Amino acid sequence: ARPPSLSPSSLASTSDHECGGLTLGLERPEDKGTAAYLWYPDVVLAAKHSTEFLAAQYVKYVAGAPAASDAFSYMKNTIITQGLGITDVSDAEVQRAVDLGPSNSGLPLTIWLSNLMNWRAHLGWSTTGHSGVDVNLYTYIASKWTQRRPVTDRIGQLAGNFENTKLGVFTADLLGLDLQTITNKLNNGSYSWSQSHQDLKPFTTGLDKYHGGVAHVIPTILSRRSALDNSPEEVGRLIKRDGMHRNVRQEL
């Protein structure tokens, strides 16, 4: 392998978001307002399978239409006691798991089984999706890219806490890119980053549902997708005519 000192490549490793919002030392209602300042990893280590695996196992089991008493027993003994390693589960907790059962492909059951463990381990989670917690950034800057500026100056730009857009600015500076010229071309409608409306489809389908309001940012693409041909000139003409670039600037 080529020694790092001779490599022309620079690397940046990060995440676009944090997931879950993990908290150690969860304070529960039964703690009566007393912070525990602890958590119990042994609760997690006792599990033999993930909650996703166990929920899928239960969904498969109830597909055979077992009696209610058998479903309760299977949930308590096989899924929770053996699968999660929880021996002090209450009947109410088991019944809640049974009631959730196979609904929504077992996702609610997956979350409930996770809660049974988290509660006992004093682990807290804010969401099953993305959170606003900071993420780590790891970089390696090859010597080839430090000739125009001392390496300490470049690395210093990425030290501490900063907005994610700074990484893009740093990369553009490192590569000597003229982002303003490219931005002007995209905003004035004289250039399209896609070759056809089919190229845009994966980027626009479902955006309203996921982001909640993208339609007013890219109205031309969403409302006139069927009218576009394979010509990038036609794409640019419609974008420019409908004032998409003005909307984008306002959003940014």
CB 207 within 8 A of CB 214: yes
- At 202, the pLDDT band (50, 70, 90 cuts) reads low
**C-alpha–C-alpha distance, residues 111 and 134, integer Å:** 24
The sign of the torsion formed by the CA atoms of 55, 61, 66, 67 equals negative
Pick the most confident of 4-18, 157-171, 177-191.
Answer: 157-171
Q: Which tokens belong to 229?
A: 């041909």
- For residue 4, pLDDT over 60 is answered with no
Q: What is the CA radius of gyration of the chain?
A: 26
Contact by Cβ (8 Å): 131, 17: yes
Q: What is the pTM of this model?
A: 0.62
C-alpha 79/C-alpha 16 separation (Å) is 34
Q: What angle do helix axes 107-121 and 91-100 make, rounded to 10 degrees?
A: 150
Q: Which one is predicted more confidently, 234 or 228?
A: 234
Task: Check whether 5 has a pLDDT greater than 60.
Answer: no
Q: Which residues pair with 167 in a beta bridge?
A: none
State the chain's mean pLDDT as an integer.
78
| Stretch(es) of the chain classified as CATH 1.10.60.40 | 18-131
- Rounded mean pLDDT of 168-182? 84
* 165-175 mean pLDDT: 83
**Which CATH code fits 18-131?**
1.10.60.40
Q: What pLDDT score was predicted for residue 186?
A: 76
- Please determine, for residue 155, whether its predicted confidence score (pLDDT) is greater than 80: no
